[in-house]
Chain A
Amino acid sequence: MTQAEIKLCSLLLQEHFGEIVEKIGVHLIRTGSQPLRVIAHDTGTSLDQVKKALCVLVQHNLVSYQVHKRGVVEYEAQCSRVLRMLRYPRYIYTTKTLYSDTGELIVEELLLNGKLTMSTVVKKVADRLTETMEDGKTMDYAEVSNTFVRLADTHFVQRCPSVPTTENSDPGPPPPAPTLVINEKDMYLVPKLSLIGKGKRRRSSDEDAAGEPKAKRPKHTTDNKEPIPDDGIYWQANLDRFHQHFRDQAIVSAVANRMDQTSSEIVRTMLRMSEITTSSSAAFTQPLSSNEIFRSLPVGYNISKQVLDQYLTLLADDPLEFVGKSGDSGGGMYVINLHKALASLATATLESVVQERFGSRCARIFRLVLQKKHLEQKQVEDFAMIPAKEAKDMLYKMLSENFISLQVGCQ
């Protein structure tokens, strides 16, 4: 972890959770994994406060724990996860574009609270939405539940690992810290709840009209008196799925820039069909047949099957190589070449940086060296058609800022 990253984590933790959590969090990032007492001792904070801070951090998945032998539990901070907090606004905005306000608030609640049960989320979101609606209207729980189920189906929210249910009662002493597990198939399984109700507005007439100081009322916990039906099943936002979505968006816009709108829509359809079936680090999506793609095109996009086939052939033949043909059954099987697409996007980003920073002639030299791998001074001048003096100047400028490196060959 670089100094700058640690400083950034410290600022983020302080802004979101306060001084104490920041102190504990930064200490863990700096020193790696430590047991509870060592943390308390090294930071000079009381055990109680350390426990509370760790609670907050674990709840938000910023700190993980592990039971070592001899029963020692060590806590470790995930610095990269802390940095993801910078992206919360983007995640929330993305959900808004996909699932409108309801989805936006669900994800916001999950991000701000770390982990929540479905019923809690539904209630909170319904209440918040009701606030913003006109007088007399309320938000129905069912609608919020539906959106929640849709979010779970498209994997934007996932279940948190939970305590495994042990069939036989373990005679030995319980472990110092539970090991949480989650079954692959259960990760997106929504429990069957029947949440019936409507959002409630916050009651505005709380104080006594006479102005007598009233004893602090207990919070409106009337609802909490009933046992929550899905206790123990907690949900969190699935950040990797959001990252996958951003990746898909980048690929689609690249295709739109290079080719045309229709091609990008086709690629978007293919990516949408592979959302769930392809893991996020795969090199290729699952092969999709042209017939399937035709059926899954967005409604209202009426292009004929032949035209679709033509577009698919063009996509597969394009020098971009984002789409490849993997077979001929079903009218042609096509895959999206994810690794190639990401590599091209990364290269284009680098070239864009060089272009803006040094100018278009330097960008020409940079692309040239990128393509040809190794070049001599004279070859650079000849291929790029830039006079020798200027070419030398540009190469040394890029060399001094470490964009290009020199390799001495034996003559």
Chain B
Amino acid sequence: MAEVKVKVQPPDADPVEIENRIIELCHQFPHGITDQVIQNEMPHIEAQQRAVAINRLLSMGQLDLLRSNTGLLYRIKDSQNAGKMKGSDNQEKLVYQIIEDAGNKGIWSRDIRYKSNLPLTEINKILKNLESKKLIKAVKSVAASKKKVYMLYNLQPDRSVTGGAWYSDQDFESEFVEVLNQQCFKFLQSKAEAARESKQNPMIQRNSSFASSHEVWKYICELGISKVELSMEDIETILNTLIYDGKVEMTIIAAKEGTVGSVDGHMKLYRAVNPIIPPTGLVRAPCGLCPVFDDCHEGGEISPSNCIYMTEWLEF
């Protein structure tokens, strides 16, 4: 007896029903569902019908398609975003998505091209469109002054793009940094002087010559030399440059949680110090600073015996 393959049309093969079920599932799992989940839920519909339903939902702008490391994810789209994008076509939506994903670091137009595989002219048209709709904005990056990164309109650009407190309009403010550098050093120096003059027992003297980063921060804020608000981390970067200048040393001590200025249970203390050696002998003689040091030898055109700097120096 030949078996007759009967294709039973399952009762809920209605495409609209499928779509609604998928949307329900998406609402259930707001982080997104994989194809496997849909299949498990509705095992009787064929893959083709599933695909059609998903595509319809995507084109209607009700579902988001994401790629995860396990495969493809479908996620319910934010209703307000769905409203915003009405009137834009798929490509625009794709570009918008990419820019949104870049967060507050922004993304370069070439990177958008790579991610979306759209030709450059299209990208530029879309970007102009989105900018006029005030959905995205272009921000000049401080790392490369010709580069423009795009990010969502209402986002604050990240510090790495604008440079933070030390950059104003992509220009590094070196005089501002220098002034802060000197002020911090003066503060620490006077504190150390005061401690030395107090002539108390050495422990107290040493401890009072330290200043925590919080103290320095308060001092600088009260000085009012900065038009931009500076955080404690900013002051710490300035203090670090003083350490690299060899003028200041730092220690870290454990501090109770809650003491003013402590971060994660420890505090950074800074102290002005003197260099441990005076300028070394070699550079006090003319030879240490001489630009033609390598060419100088007895009997040559440049030699110690006819060196004018040497003669001058020896006449002290």
At the interface, yes or no: A299 with Cβ under 8 Å from chain B?
no
Candidate in B277, B278, B279 with the most chain A CB atoms within 10 angstroms = B277
Which B residues are CB-close (under 8 A) to A7? Answer: 298
Chain B, residue nearest A308 (CB)? B202
Given A257-B276, A352-B279, A357-B289, are A367 and B244 also a contact pair (CB < 8 Å)? yes
> Per-position contact with B for A350-371: 1 when CB-CB < 8 Å, else 0?
0111011100100111011001
At the interface, yes or no: A348 with Cβ under 8 Å from chain B?
yes
Chain A, residue nearest B180 (CB)? A385
In the bound complex, what is the Cα–Cα distance between A352 and B275 (angstroms)?
Answer: 9
Q: Is the CB of A319 within 8 A of B249?
A: yes
Which B residues are CB-close (under 8 A) to A260? Answer: 196, 202
Shortest C-beta distance, A288 to chain B (Å), equals 19
Shortest C-beta distance, B184 to chain A (Å), equals 12
At the interface, yes or no: A384 with Cβ under 8 Å from chain B?
yes
The segment from B54-62, B103-111, B233-241 that touches chain A is: B233-241
Shortest C-beta distance, B308 to chain A (Å), equals 19
Q: Is the CB of B276 within 8 A of A320?
A: yes
Q: Is the CB of B276 within 8 A of A364?
A: no
Which B residues are CB-close (under 8 A) to A353? Answer: 280, 282-283, 288
> Per-position contact with B for A95-106: 1 when CB-CB < 8 Å, else 0?
000000000000
> Per-position contact with B for A376-400: 1 when CB-CB < 8 Å, else 0?
0010000111111010000000000
Which B residues are CB-close (under 8 A) to A351? Answer: 246
Residues 228-283 of B at the A interface (beta carbon under 8 Å): 237-238, 240-241, 244-246, 249, 251, 273-280, 282-283
Shortest C-beta distance, B61 to chain A (Å), equals 40
Which A residues are CB-close (under 8 A) to B280? Answer: 348-349, 352-353
In the bound complex, what is the Cα–Cα distance between A360 and B185 (angstroms)?
Answer: 15
Chain A, residue nearest B297 (CB)? A4
At the interface, yes or no: A258 with Cβ under 8 Å from chain B?
yes
Q: Is the CB of A363 within 8 A of B276?
A: no
- Residue B240 contacts which of A314, A360, A365, A383 (CB distance < 8 angstroms)? A383
Q: Is the CB of B244 within 8 A of A258?
A: no
Q: Is the CB of A345 within 8 A of B277?
A: yes
At the interface, yes or no: A280 with Cβ under 8 Å from chain B?
no
- Residue B203 contacts which of A262, A314, A356, A360 (CB distance < 8 angstroms)? A314
> Per-position contact with B for A1-41: 1 when CB-CB < 8 Å, else 0?
00010010000000000000000000000000000000000
At the interface, yes or no: A85 with Cβ under 8 Å from chain B?
no
Chain A, residue nearest B271 (CB)? A319
> Per-position contact with B for A255-299: 1 when CB-CB < 8 Å, else 0?
001101011000000000000000000000000000000000000
Shortest C-beta distance, B192 to chain A (Å), equals 11
Candidate in B245, B251, B279 with the most chain A CB atoms within 10 angstroms = B245
Q: Is the CB of A383 within 8 A of B244?
A: yes
At the interface, yes or no: B206 with Cβ under 8 Å from chain A?
yes
In the bound complex, what is the Cα–Cα distance between A262 and B203 (angstroms)?
Answer: 13
Q: Is the CB of A348 within 8 A of B245?
A: no
Shortest C-beta distance, A5 to chain B (Å), equals 13
Chain B, residue nearest A391 (CB)? B172
At the interface, yes or no: B79 with Cβ under 8 Å from chain A?
no
At the interface, yes or no: B48 with Cβ under 8 Å from chain A?
no
Chain A, residue nearest B241 (CB)? A385
In the bound complex, what is the Cα–Cα distance between A260 and B273 (angstroms)?
Answer: 11
Chain A, residue nearest B250 (CB)? A319
> Per-position contact with A for B274-304: 1 when CB-CB < 8 Å, else 0?
1111111011000011000000011000000
Given A307-B202, A353-B280, are A384 and B244 also a contact pair (CB < 8 Å)? yes
Q: Is the CB of B244 within 8 A of A314?
A: no
Q: Is the CB of A257 within 8 A of B241?
A: no
Q: Is the CB of A257 within 8 A of B244?
A: no
At the interface, yes or no: B194 with Cβ under 8 Å from chain A?
no
At the interface, yes or no: B85 with Cβ under 8 Å from chain A?
no
Known: A254-B276, A348-B280, A352-B280. 10 other contacts (CB 8 A): A257-B278, A307-B201, A310-B203, A356-B279, A356-B289, A357-B283, A360-B245, A367-B245, A368-B244, A385-B238
Closest 10 CB pairs of A and B: A356-B283, A254-B276, A387-B172, A352-B280, A368-B244, A349-B280, A364-B244, A367-B244, A348-B277, A385-B177
Q: List 7 A-B contacts (CB under 8 A).
A: A311-B202, A345-B276, A348-B276, A356-B283, A363-B245, A367-B244, A383-B241
User: What is the interface of chain B, defined by CB distance below 8 A to chain A?
Assistant: 143, 166, 172, 174, 177, 181, 196, 201-203, 206, 237-238, 240-241, 244-246, 249, 251, 273-280, 282-283, 288-289, 297-298
